[in-house]
Amino acid sequence: MAEYKVLVVDDEAGIRMGTRRILQNFKVDYPFMDEHIEFVILEAGTGEDAIEIIDRDMPDIILLDNKLPGIQGIEVLEYVKKKLYDIVVVMITSYASLELAVKATRDGAYDFIPKPFTPQELRSSLENITKQLFLKRMTQKMNKEGKQIRFQFLSVLSHELKAPLNAIEGYLKIMDERQFGDNIHAYQEMINRSLDRITGMRSLIMDLLDLTKIESGSPVQNFQPTDITAIARLSLDTMRPYAIQKDVDIYLNTKESVIMEADSKEIEIILNNLISNAVKYNKQGGRVDIFIKQEKGNIKITVIDSGIGMTDEEKSRLFQDFVRIKNQKTRNITGSGLGLSILKKIVEMYHGEIEVQSVPDQGTTFTITLPQDKQ
């Protein structure tokens, strides 16, 4: 049996008592858990008391009322966030505004329970939280032990895989019911869209394979003197059919060989990603310029495009898993949002650096610097 400490913060003693009763004999079981979890209740009548108890007893879960006599609940939430405590906070409150709710979510509030709540509402919310917390801690433990299980990642992944499936299923149903008559031509656009979504899904799966190669404990790196220019040429050739369709010209401005000790597969992933993005996020009649240089013990790979560019805010999110910039200009472009996060992981393995310069509507320059002799 395990115990989670639940801190109830409410200025009404009656609510604190009630909560204690509701949770007294409550246990949570979970198929993943060998044991069940019970709850120990701690109480605080004010935000100030709550902070004292948090520092002293380190609860696992806080049920937090926002309206308190002294400092407000949201300030307690901010405190927990600032201290980076591993505590799940549930706001129990009547919200004055959307702004507060959004702020609370940003500050890491996990859930909201409206007040007054029924015993059943409280229990089922606590059950969810307990499972979530358990999974999170198990994940952390496994990560420490070097096991690469990432629930967070998997749940986003399942969402990313489900969206195209839903779209394709929707179109197939429309066709199945012959909603636009018996002529196949009436469905051409739906067929095209389905094929596009399949392409997107395939690229996601390919990216995932790259990612598992990088992340599976000891990557089998095969270091050899590698000609970066030759790989760039190869990558350019693979991308050319796509570039022609998009009416984008690609130029490899370096002719001479630039050699470094590297795993050619990894360099290929870097170049493929940069060049394919430079083509994908370009404009009709646009161009892509590639430079490979050797300077001061570093290899510099520069890919310049004359494409749609991005804002500083968009730039800051670029390298996160599954991040795709959503705006008018990117809405018809498919992708997994994994490419650059993979690239970043590889560049880090080489102790290299990535620099991005971008101006909306003018273009983007990616510069990768890899030290030639890596330790």
Ligand X SMILES: Nc1ncnc2c1ncn2[C@@H]1O[C@H](COP(=O)(O)OP(=O)(O)OP(=O)(O)O)[C@@H](O)[C@H]1O
| Binding residues for ligand X (CB under 6 A) | 203, 207, 273, 276-278, 281, 305, 307-310, 318, 323-325, 330, 335-341, 364
* Contacted entry of ligand X, another protein, none for residue 335, CB cut-off 5 to 8 Å set by kind: ligand X
Please give the residues from 286 up to 345 whose contact with another protein meets the rule CB under 8 A.
326-328, 331-332
* Size of residue set near another protein by CB under 8 A: 38
Q: Which residues contact 247 (CB under 8 A, 6 or more apart)?
A: 284, 285, 286
Among 20, 81, 115, 246, binds another protein (CB under 8 A): 115
Angle at 131 between CA 128 and CA 132, to 5 degrees: 85
Q: Are 284 and 245 in contact (CB under 8 A)?
A: no
Q: Does residue number 94 form part of the binding site for another protein (CB under 8 A)?
A: yes
Nearer to ligand X, 50 or 248 (CB): 248
Nearer to another protein, 54 or 133 (CB): 133
Nearer to ligand X, 116 or 285 (CB): 285
Closest CA to 225 of 253, 254, 258, 255: 258
Q: Are 264 and 221 in contact (CB under 8 A)?
A: no
In whole angstroms, the minimum distance from the beta carbon of 312 to ligand X comes to 13
Please give the residues from 183 up to 202 whose contact with another protein meets the rule CB under 8 A.
193, 197
Angle at 63 between CA 59 and CA 65, to 5 degrees: 130
Structure tokens at 66: 């926002």
Among 13, 40, 149, 174, binds another protein (CB under 8 A): 174
SS3 295: strand
* Contacted entry of another protein, ligand X, none for residue 130, CB cut-off 5 to 8 Å set by kind: none
Q: Does residue number 132 form part of the binding site for another protein (CB under 8 A)?
A: yes
In whole angstroms, the minimum distance from the beta carbon of 243 to ligand X comes to 13
Closest CA to 354 of 339, 344, 342, 341: 344
User: Which contacts qualify for 26-32: CB closer than 8 Å, 24 or more apart?
Assistant: 26/123, 26/126, 28/126, 28/127, 28/130, 28/131, 30/130, 30/131, 30/134, 32/134, 32/135, 32/138
* Contacted entry of another protein, ligand X, none for residue 238, CB cut-off 5 to 8 Å set by kind: none
One-character DSSP codes across 316-330: HTTTSTT----SGGG
Interacting residue ranges for another protein, rule: CB under 8 A: 93-98, 100-102, 105, 111-112, 114-115, 121, 124-125, 128, 131-132, 155, 158-159, 162-163, 166-167, 170-171, 174, 179, 193, 197, 326-328, 331-332
